[in-house]
Amino acid sequence: MMKFATITLNPAIDKTIITTETLKLNTIHQCSTTIEQPGGKGINVAKILKLWNINANATGLIGNSQDNIFQKLFKTSNITNNFINIPLPTRINTTITDGKGQELKINDKGWENIHASPANIINSICSKIDNQSVVAICGSLPPALPKNILTQLINQLHTKHCIIALDSSKDALLAGCKANPTIIKPNQYELEDIIGFAINNQTEIINTIKHLRKKHEIIIATFGNDKAYFADAKHIFIAHPPKVKVCDTTGAGDALLGTFLAHYFPNQTLNQHTIAMSVATASASVECLSTATPNKTRIQALSKLVEIKKLT
């Protein structure tokens, strides 16, 4: 049995505020509901792995957060909690939505100061991860951590023969890519972070993917509701997500990555079923508020509606 772990260095409490009427700037809104859910991209991936009966080992850094909200989730979701505690509150990411497709997201940066050295943090995290695990490293870094920490973290995990999936952004993504993670899942902006210029058309996307696959076994480039590319050493597929009623896009990319990992391993062959299930999970997740886990029946139904074409 393969082992799966996820690493979240900058977790968050996802606070969703639902307004009673259509969201509009410079207007006072009434709030109909407020939901607080434990968030953090690696935790989202662990929740999706659980949907496919995979018990993921979730590690990273976690604050002494309000109400033990994370502990409750780990218990109810059967996620193994191997987080390292930081004696500070966890940041809050706020989504304001009218539930009709209009939303505003405001993300807190995270810890400014962590009283532990980067080397100690890397060692502690690596000590929690079994050899040969599939490890998803997800999300941003708190300002307290040096930008290059993901290069070192991935290199150290490679000494444990782990397979790395990286889903990060900006400098953290660039640093992580230096250590050649097996799988990367950039969205459009992250893909542009990696190559350093704006992408305007499909030819540029394909050329970029061809360039990146010299370093990565799998490249998944997602473009929101429009399309997603899945590439391995041989093929590039394009997938068009089905039209769904958008409720909340938080964690759509994490949902896609979780299902991808659950289906790609252990065989490590990129096929259309894996692509359809991954995109369908993401689409089903945008139908749900916050990062609630979508149900399998809905995912299976949507997977039949994902249009997939082999480009090369």
Ligand X SMILES: Nc1ncnc2c1ncn2[C@@H]1O[C@H](COP(=O)(O)OP(=O)(O)OP(=O)(O)O)[C@@H](O)[C@H]1O
Interface mask (CB under 6 A) for ligand X, residues 182-211, using x and -? -----x------------------------
Could you give the strand order of the β-sheet that contains 103-107, starting from the edge strand earlier in sequence? Answer: 31-38, 12-19, 91-97, 103-107
Nearest residue (CB) to Mg ion, 189 versus 310:
189
Q: Compute the distance between CA of residue 184 and CA of residue 186 in angstroms, rounded to an integer.
A: 6
Answer yes or no whether residue 40 interacts with Mg ion by CB under 5 A. Answer: no
Residues 229-288 that bind Mg ion (CB under 5 A): 253
Number of residues that bind ligand X (CB under 6 A): 19
Residues 221-240 that bind ligand X (CB under 6 A): 222-225, 228
Q: Compute the distance between CA of residue 11 and CA of residue 72 in angstroms, rounded to an integer.
A: 15
State which amino acid sits at residue 34.
T
Answer yes or no whether residue 251 interacts with ligand X by CB under 6 A. Answer: yes
Q: Compute the distance between CA of residue 307 and CA of residue 279 in angstroms, rounded to an integer.
A: 10
Answer yes or no whether residue 241 interacts with ligand X by CB under 6 A. Answer: yes
- At closest approach, how far in Å is the CB of 278 from ligand X? 8
Which range, of 22-30, 62-70, 112-120, 245-253, touches ligand X by CB under 6 A? 245-253
Nearest residue (CB) to ligand X, 154 versus 255:
255
Listed residue (6, 109, 121, 113) closest to 56, CA to CA: 6
Listed residue (70, 66, 3, 108) closest to 291, CA to CA: 70
Residues 253-282 that bind ligand X (CB under 6 A): 253-254, 256, 279, 282
Residues 92-121 that bind Mg ion (CB under 5 A): none
Nearest residue (CB) to ligand X, 107 versus 124:
107
Which range, of 47-55, 157-165, 170-178, 252-260, touches ligand X by CB under 6 A? 252-260
Answer yes or no whether residue 299 interacts with ligand X by CB under 6 A. Answer: no
Answer yes or no whether residue 286 interacts with ligand X by CB under 6 A. Answer: yes
The 3-state DSSP class for residue 220 equals: strand
CA distances from 257 to 121, 165, 238, 290, 308 (A): 25, 9, 16, 17, 17
Nearest residue (CB) to ligand X, 190 versus 232:
190
- At closest approach, how far in Å is the CB of 167 from Mg ion? 6
- At closest approach, how far in Å is the CB of 30 from Mg ion? 31
**For residue 89, is the peptide bond before it cis, meaning its omega torsion is within 30 degrees of 0?**
no
Vertex 241 angle, CA 251 and 94, to 5°:
20
**Can you point out the beta strands (E) in 9-130?**
12-19, 31-38, 57-63, 80-86, 91-97, 103-107
Count CB atoms within 10 A of the CB of residue 167. 27
- At closest approach, how far in Å is the CB of 284 from ligand X? 9
Q: Where do contacts with Mg ion occur on this chain (CB under 5 A)? A: 253
Interface positions with ligand X (CB under 6 A): 187, 222-225, 228, 241, 244, 246, 249, 251-254, 256, 279, 282-283, 286
